[in-house]
Chain A
Amino acid sequence: MAISDYIPFITPRAPRFVTESGAAVYGIVAEFATPASVYHAAEKMRDSGFAKWDVYSPYPMHGLDEAMGVKRTILPVLVATGAFTGVGLAYLMQWWMSAVDFQIVVQGKPYGAWEPFVPITFEMGVLFAAFTSLFGMLALNGLPRFNHPLFRSERFLRVSDDRYMIAIEAEDPKFDPEQTRAFLESLGGTDIELIEDD
Chain B
Amino acid sequence: MTSLNPDQVTAERLAGLRAMPTAPPAPGTGDGSLLDDPTVRPPLVLNNRTPGEITEIVCGYVENPPGKWWWMLFGLTSTLAGVGTIMILYLIITGVGVWGLTSQVGWAWDITNFVFWIGIGHAGTLISAILCLFKQQWRTAVNRSAEAMTIFAVICAGIFPGIHVGRVWMAWMLAPIPNSNIIWPNFRSPLLWDVFAVGTYMTVSLLFWYMGMIPDFATLRDRAHRRLRAGSRTLGTYLRAYVFGFLALGWRFSTRHWHRYEKAYMLLAGIATPLVLSVHSIVSMDFATAILPGWHTTIFPPYFVAGAIFGGFAMVLFLLIPAREVYPNFKDLLTLHHLENMAKIVLVTGWMVGFAYAMEFFIAWYSVNEMELYVFINRATGPYWWAYWTMITCNVVVPNVFWFKWVRQNPLAIWLVACAVTVGMWFERFVIIVTSLHRAFLPGEWHMFFPTTVDVLTFTGSVGIFLTLFLLFMRFLPMFAMAELKAVTPQGDPHRPEGGATEQH
**A interface residues (Cβ-Cβ under 8 A, vs B):** 33-40, 42, 54-65, 68, 70, 73, 75-76, 79, 83, 93-94, 97-98, 101-102, 104, 106-107, 109, 113, 116-117, 119-120, 122-124, 126-127, 129-131, 133-134, 136-138, 140-141, 143-148, 150-151, 154, 156-162
Set A42, A109, A160: member contacting B218, Cβ < 8 A: A160
- Give the complex CA separation of A124 and B175 in angstroms: 13
Q: Is the CB of B211 within 8 A of A134?
A: yes
Rounded to whole Å, the gap between the CB of A72 and the closest CB of chain B is 8
Q: Quick one: which of B229, B492, B499 has the most chain A CB within 10 A?
A: B492
- Across-interface contacts of B211 in A (CB, < 8 A): 134, 137
Q: Is the CB of B262 within 8 A of A97?
A: no
Q: Is the CB of A123 within 8 A of B196?
A: yes
- Give the complex CA separation of A156 and B24 in angstroms: 35
Q: Does B407 have its Cβ within 8 Å of any Cβ on chain A?
A: no
Going nearest first, the 5 A-B pairs with the smallest beta carbon separation are: A34-B500, A36-B500, A137-B264, A39-B494, A144-B249
Can you give 12 contacting A-B residue pairs, CB < 8 Å? Answer: A56-B255, A59-B492, A65-B259, A73-B259, A79-B264, A98-B184, A106-B189, A127-B200, A133-B267, A148-B250, A154-B226, A162-B55
Closest to B195 in A: A120
- Across-interface contacts of B486 in A (CB, < 8 A): 58-59, 162
Closest to B56 in A: A161
Rounded to whole Å, the gap between the CB of A56 and the closest CB of chain B is 5
Q: Quick one: which of B249, B493, B495, B500 has the most chain A CB within 10 A?
A: B500
- Across-interface contacts of B199 in A (CB, < 8 A): 123
Closest to A144 in B: B249
Q: Does B368 have its Cβ within 8 Å of any Cβ on chain A?
A: no
Q: Is the CB of B184 within 8 A of A101?
A: yes
- Give the complex CA separation of A146 and B244 in angstroms: 11
Set B222, B262, B487, B501: member contacting A157, Cβ < 8 A: B222
- Give the complex CA separation of A83 and B185 in angstroms: 23
Set B186, B193, B229, B495: member contacting A154, Cβ < 8 A: B229
- Across-interface contacts of A123 in B (CB, < 8 A): 193, 196-197, 199-200, 275, 278
- Give the complex CA separation of A59 and B486 in angstroms: 6
Given A124-B196, A147-B250, does the pair A130, B207 have CB atoms closer than 8 Å?
Answer: yes
Closest to A119 in B: B193
**B interface residues (Cβ-Cβ under 8 A, vs A):** 50-52, 55, 176, 182-190, 192-193, 196-197, 199-200, 203-204, 207-208, 210-211, 215, 218-219, 221-223, 225-226, 229, 245-246, 249-264, 267-268, 271-272, 274-275, 278, 282, 285, 482-484, 486-487, 491-495, 499-502
Closest to B197 in A: A123
- Give the complex CA separation of A147 and B254 in angstroms: 14
Q: Is the CB of A137 within 8 A of B204?
A: no
Given A39-B494, A126-B204, does the pair A148, B264 have CB atoms closer than 8 Å?
Answer: no
Q: Is the CB of B494 within 8 A of A61?
A: yes
Given A62-B493, A126-B200, A161-B222, does the pair A57, B255 have CB atoms closer than 8 Å?
Answer: yes
- Across-interface contacts of A83 in B (CB, < 8 A): 271
Rounded to whole Å, the gap between the CB of A54 and the closest CB of chain B is 5
- Across-interface contacts of B494 in A (CB, < 8 A): 34-36, 38-40, 61-64
Given A56-B252, A56-B254, A146-B250, does the pair A116, B260 have CB atoms closer than 8 Å?
Answer: no
Q: Is the CB of A62 within 8 A of B204?
A: no
Set A36, A64, A137: member contacting B502, Cβ < 8 A: A36
- Give the complex CA separation of A127 and B278 in angstroms: 13
Set A33, A38, A68, A157: member contacting B225, Cβ < 8 A: A157
- Across-interface contacts of B267 in A (CB, < 8 A): 75-76, 79, 129, 133
Closest to A39 in B: B494
Set A64, A106, A126, A129: member contacting B255, Cβ < 8 A: A64
- Across-interface contacts of B226 in A (CB, < 8 A): 154, 157-158
- Across-interface contacts of A159 in B (CB, < 8 A): 222, 252-253
